[in-house]
């Protein structure tokens, strides 16, 4: 019998109140102050003239599977009122509400009409709206009367952008660019108010040129999307209750065309089938710094209400580790604040081209009062400086000088040390895994390195010189495992899974007794008998209403095998807000996304109101791994309360291009920062014994348009150094319980079907020990629903090849997946040994999850790349 754990009272729970307070407490750490003429923080809580499309329609987080159903979302207007400000522009806000409502109604009607015209049932409109989320552009004009009746000297304009899975953003007004109405209204405000503050309630990069050119704009703040208390967080920042200490995790370009991937990204060139990664390793600041392109705001940039001084006190070697001791002092006189110490390294780049510099370490101070100082000691393993050599299939440190640059952003550093390596050294030898059958990508070539400026030359001359002994770099060689032999059949009584959990029987004996069909059921999710639009949308679970999926119940009656519940993220758990427990032991969801069933309201009502934490992009802007771990801990506590075994998060793909529709779910353009954030998030969740994360989407999920059928052409070096490096860090430092493969193809092979990435890279080279699952319906033919039909160049993923690649679980599971696996088994495409191997992965995880164990899944692993201590 299913245990329904959600509360039966509709009252606000202490957990909801406490968790919202936890999120509010971190607000300042996640917000980035881009511009400020001294207006912020506001000296008093007087009248505020509030405008902008996000004033009331504040975006808490993006759409699609990244959404979270909450009891309350506090918009900026309400946040200001609760914090004691008087919002005096009610008539304009009402006009804006009407304009936004009319735009939404027209959008929904168009979706329903399109579904009916395509021969789909009206409910298919939900799928279409998920795959094509509305980009709101309605904006009421601000008038002289609005200014006069506001009786305020300060105007706050909340500029919002929303995006979601299934659709990329566009380089057009009202999306990446500001709309004509936004520019007109901001220009009007600049001419009519003494102070104009722009709050960017966005989940990605936008064009900031107008904000820097319009006269009268006093301050610009990236408040991001802080979850359901975004309005309170914004009010805290304006009042000075919270001090902004966030830093950009992406390069904000002066022009969209400055990004090297812009000509061919997604729909920009009209080709949604093939995406050549011609920029290679030069992603984000690696490109801008190497090619000499000046951005609007550089990677790692962020102002403060105070000022800081950074001084590298010493640089030393401890074996094969570099130790940098950096003193940070709050040099201001009025406000407390926190600073981020960032370390970039310039490699020799003599034979192997390298970016001008790469982030290799970072650490954030505690809150420093005016005049107060703190010393941080950062430890960097020399092996982490290695680059991948495609010609020799190895990670290596090239001989020469490594320049260590210490500062507060990628373009505000000083050379603090020079590390010399007399001989090149290999750190790891591996197999070549990612050849493209269409031939190598024609990548851009970096210009010759510019000579050192007089300032750099002086810094190099004055910096400590460290000589690293090449003998201290010990080369390893990756070992690639063979397929385990098929288990011998054993006759006898049925072995229940509880006996395995109790140590009375071996897992091998349990697996050996299963039929081929039972093993196949373990390879597919629990919707094998039932798939509809709800499953497509990611709410296929029967036993935890609103969960995205679950493992099979086909082995429950005979073997007592329980089910793991898989819940969407990454800005909190996504579950149905209310459901009814029926007398027959089933449940019917009310609101949100639910799994079918009748709508009879007889039964016990349950309530699942969760906490929407900040989106990944906003969390990463904190550059604070302890803070991110605390949000993981928050989610882990809610997983325990509601019985969700795996959180389908964190999303951690690289921000290759600012128009990717799911960038809000991901952390950064930099793999070190993204990997460390994901590791911290995972460690926070998995501090709750038996509950875990599912890092996603592996590999190179950087485009949403035609996301299930697009082929990413990427060089092996770019894959290993950029698009896989972040996943390597989270695996090696946090051992997530699970990993999700992506929809797209990489060099002609669907990610879910690619044994080189899922087995040889992930498991053999990195030592991943968990379960791998597909993204939802990757093996399904959704071409008609996706409105791409016969234009598809590449087909869908294959369930049998998922098994072959050691992708353990096909979600949400269809009868066609089950049949395909058994068909492939009979044809010899796969063997029973493959099924047994994958079953072992899933069942081993199950033995260590909360259903069968109260022990931690893993212990926190010290950072393999960087660690730091405080003084």
Token code pair at residue 709? 């059928």
- The three-class DSSP label of residue 834 is helix
Rounded CA separation 536/732 (Å): 32
Rounded CA separation 790/159 (Å): 39
User: Which letter, b or e, does each residue of 672-681 get, where b requires 16 or more Cβ atoms within 10 Å of its Cβ?
Assistant: bbbbbbbbbb
Rounded CA separation 532/391 (Å): 48
Q: What angle do CA 862, 865, 867 make, to 5 degrees?
A: 55
Beta bridge partners of 323: 316, 379
Q: Among positive and negative, which fits the CA dihedral 51, 57, 63, 69?
A: positive
Rounded CA separation 775/741 (Å): 6
626 is catalytic: no
Q: Residues 862, 680: contact at Cβ < 8 Å? A: no
Peptide bond into 778 cis (omega under 30): no
Q: Residues 252, 35: contact at Cβ < 8 Å? A: no
Residue written as token pair 């495992």: 481
Cβ atoms within 10 Å, residue 627: 19
Peptide bond into 665 cis (omega under 30): no
Rounded CA separation 247/688 (Å): 30
Rounded CA separation 521/551 (Å): 9
Residue whose C-alpha is closest to residue 62's, from 254, 188, 201:
201
CB neighbour class for 335 (10 Å; exposed up to 12, middle 13-18, buried from 19): middle
Residue whose C-alpha is closest to residue 817's, from 842, 807, 759:
807
Residue whose C-alpha is closest to residue 599's, from 586, 587, 588, 585:
588
Residue whose C-alpha is closest to residue 499's, from 489, 486, 510:
510
User: Which letter, b or e, does each residue of 825-843 get, where b requires 16 or more Cβ atoms within 10 Å of its Cβ?
Assistant: beeebbeeebbbbbbbbbb
Query: How far is C-alpha 200 from the chain's CA centre?
Result: 19
Rounded CA separation 317/381 (Å): 10
Residue written as token pair 């348009």: 705
Q: Which of 775, 798, 808, 817 is catalytic?
A: 775
Residues 6+ apart with CB under 8 A from 425: 396, 397, 399, 470, 473, 475
Residues 6+ apart with CB under 8 A from 25: none
Question: What phi and psi, each to the nearest 5 degrees, are found at residue 251?
Answer: -85, 125
User: Active-site residues: which are they?
Assistant: 775
């Amino acid at each position: 019998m299913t245990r329904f754990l959600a509360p039966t009272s509709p009252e606000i729970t202490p957990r909801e109140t406490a968790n919202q307070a936890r999120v509010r407490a971190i607000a300042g750490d996640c917000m980035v102050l881009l511009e400020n003429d001294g207006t912020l923080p506001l000296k008093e809580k007087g009248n505020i003239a509030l405008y902008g499309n996000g004033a009331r329609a504040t975006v808490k987080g993006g759409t699609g599977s990244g959404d979270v159903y909450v009891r309350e979302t506090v918009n900026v207007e309400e946040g200001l009122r609760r914090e004691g400000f008087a919002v005096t522009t009610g008539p304009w806000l009402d006009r804006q509400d009407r304009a936004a409502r009319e735009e939404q109604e027209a959008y929904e009607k168009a979706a329903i009409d399109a579904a009916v015209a395509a021969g789909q049932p009206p409910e298919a409109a939900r799928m279409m709206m998920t795959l094509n989320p509305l980009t709101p552009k309605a904006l009421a004009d601000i008038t002289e009367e609005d200014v006069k009746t506001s009786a305020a000297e300060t105007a706050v304009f909340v500029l919002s952008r929303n995006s979601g899975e299934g659709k990329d953003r566009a380089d057009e007004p009202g999306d990446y660019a500001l709309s004509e109405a936004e520019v007109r209204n901001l220009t009007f405000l600049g001419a009519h108010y003494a102070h104009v503050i722009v709050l960017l309630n966005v989940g990605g990069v936008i064009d900031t040129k107008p904000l820097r050119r319009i006269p009268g704009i006093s301050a610009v703040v990236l408040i991001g999307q802080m979850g359901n208390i975004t309005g309170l967080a914004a009010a805290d920042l304006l009042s000075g209750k919270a001090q902004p200490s966030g830093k950009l995790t992406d390069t904000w370009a002066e022009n969209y065309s400055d990004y090297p991937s812009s000509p061919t990204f997604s729909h920009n060139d009209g080709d949604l089938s093939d995406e050549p990664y011609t920029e290679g390793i030069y992603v984000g600041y690696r490109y801008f710094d190497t090619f000499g392109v000046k951005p609007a705001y550089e990677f790692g940039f962020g102002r403060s209400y105070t000022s800081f001084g950074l001084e590298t006190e010493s640089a030393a070697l401890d074996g094969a580790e570099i130790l940098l001791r950096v003193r940070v002092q709050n040099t201001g006189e009025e406000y407390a604040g926190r600073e981020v110490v960032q370390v970039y390294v310039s490699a020799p780049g003599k034979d192997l081209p390298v970016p001008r510099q790469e982030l290799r370490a970072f650490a954030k101070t505690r809150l420093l009062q005016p005049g107060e100082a703190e010393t941080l000691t950062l430890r960097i393993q020399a092996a982490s400086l290695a680059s991948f050599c495609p010609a020799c299939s190895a990670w290596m440190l090239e001989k020469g000088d490594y320049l260590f640059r210490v500062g507060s952003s990628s373009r505000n550093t000083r050379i603090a040390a020079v590390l010399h390596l007399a001989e090149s050294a290999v750190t790891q030898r591996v197999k070549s895994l990612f050849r493209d059958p269409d031939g190598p990508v024609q990548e851009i070539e970096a210009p010759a390195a510019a000579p050192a400026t007089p300032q750099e030359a002086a810094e190099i001359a004055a910096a400590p010189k460290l000589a690293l002994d090449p003998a201290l770099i010990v080369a390893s060689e990756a070992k690639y495992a063979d397929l385990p032999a098929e288990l011998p059949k054993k006759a006898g009584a049925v072995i229940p899974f509880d006996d395995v959990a109790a140590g009375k029987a071996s897992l091998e004996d349990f697996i050996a007794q299963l039929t081929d069909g039972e093993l196949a059921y373990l390879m597919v999710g629990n919707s094998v008998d039932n798939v509809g639009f709800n499953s497509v949308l990611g709410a296929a679970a029967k036993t935890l209403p609103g969960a995205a999926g679950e493992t099979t119940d086909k082995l429950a009656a005979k073997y007592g095998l329980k089910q793991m519940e898989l819940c969407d993220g990454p800005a909190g758990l996504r579950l149905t807000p209310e459901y009814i427990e029926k007398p027959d032991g089933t449940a019917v969801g009310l609101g949100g996304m639910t799994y079918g069933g009748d709508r009879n309201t007889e039964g016990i009502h349950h309530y699942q109101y969760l906490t929407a934490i900040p989106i990944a992009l906003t969390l990463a802007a904190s550059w604070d791994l302890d803070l991110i771990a605390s949000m993981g801990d928050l989610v882990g506590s809610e997983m325990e309360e509601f019985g969700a075994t795996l959180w389908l998060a964190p999303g951690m793909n690289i921000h290759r291009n600012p128009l990717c529709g799911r960038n809000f779910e991901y952390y950064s353009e930099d793999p070190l920062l993204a990997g460390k954030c994901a590791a911290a998030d995972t460690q926070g969740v998995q501090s709750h014994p038996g509950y875990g994360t599912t890092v996603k989407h592996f590999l190179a999920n950087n485009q949403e348009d035609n996301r299930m059928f697009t082929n990413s052409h990427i060089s092996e070096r770019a894959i290993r150094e950029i698009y896989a490096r972040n996943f390597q860090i989270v695996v090696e430092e946090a051992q997530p319980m699970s990993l999700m493969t992506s929809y797209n193809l990489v060099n002609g092979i669907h990610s879910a079907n690619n044994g080189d990435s899922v087995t040889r890279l992930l498991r053999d080279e990195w030592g991943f020990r968990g379960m791998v699952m597909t993204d939802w319906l990757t093996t399904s033919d959704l071409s008609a629903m996706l409105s791409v039909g016969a234009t598809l160049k590449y087909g869908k993923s294959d369930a049998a090849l998922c098994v072959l690649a050691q992708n353990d679980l096909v979600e949400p599971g269809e009868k066609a997946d089950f049949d395909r696996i058994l068909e492939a088994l009979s044809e010899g495409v796969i063997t029973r040994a493959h099924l047994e191997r994958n079953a072992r992965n899933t069942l081993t995880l199950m033995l260590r999850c909360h259903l069968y164990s109260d022990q931690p899944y893993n212990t926190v692993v010290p950072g393999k790349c960087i660690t730091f201590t405080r003084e």
